[in-house]
Amino acid sequence: MEAHDPVFRLVILCTGNTCRSPLAAAAIREELGPDAKKVDLVSAGTAAADGQPASAGSREAAAGSGVDLSAHRSRRASADLVRGADLILVMEPEHARAAQSLGADPRRVHVLSEWPDPGEPALAVSDPFGGSKEAYEECWRRIRHHVRRIVPRVREELRARSA
């Protein structure tokens, strides 16, 4: 993207793109509010099967906060997707390695719980896939917590691009 382009490309990666990354994308959209229209926000999975809905547990956890994931369909991470990203947020270090193996700029790839510095790595976002309702709810709580730390940095970048 050109330096003067006001659109910010944000990619969020997890493994299957049915639990954590759709939740994180929804949380970021919600937290950005009207600024969300300035962000090209995409979630994908490093081992995703294309076209799968968000997991029932993720849909239920998000719905408890009034967030609807019913339109989500999974997609597999690709070189084109990650190479064009301004910021890539991943759930685990293995996702960062996968993004970099697809050609992502390592300076733009960060673990959600660890960015921006110093982050909160003790509050890692574990994969709730196949877990209990409580596991999904804890995943959603942690994602929203991290998103509240991250969105101010995204807004800073949006302001810089529109200046």
Catalytic residues: 14, 20, 127
- Contacts (Cβ under 8 Å, ≥6 apart) of 65: 140, 144
CB 91 within 8 A of CB 111: yes
Strand-pairing partners, residue 13, are 44, 90
Torsion of CA 78, 26, 31, 84, to 10 degrees: 10
Distances (CA, A) of 36 to 55, 93, 97: 24, 26, 27
Token pair in block for residue 117:
């510095």
Sign, CA torsion 78/84/85/88: positive
Q: Which of 13, 12, 15 is nearest to 129 (CA)?
A: 15
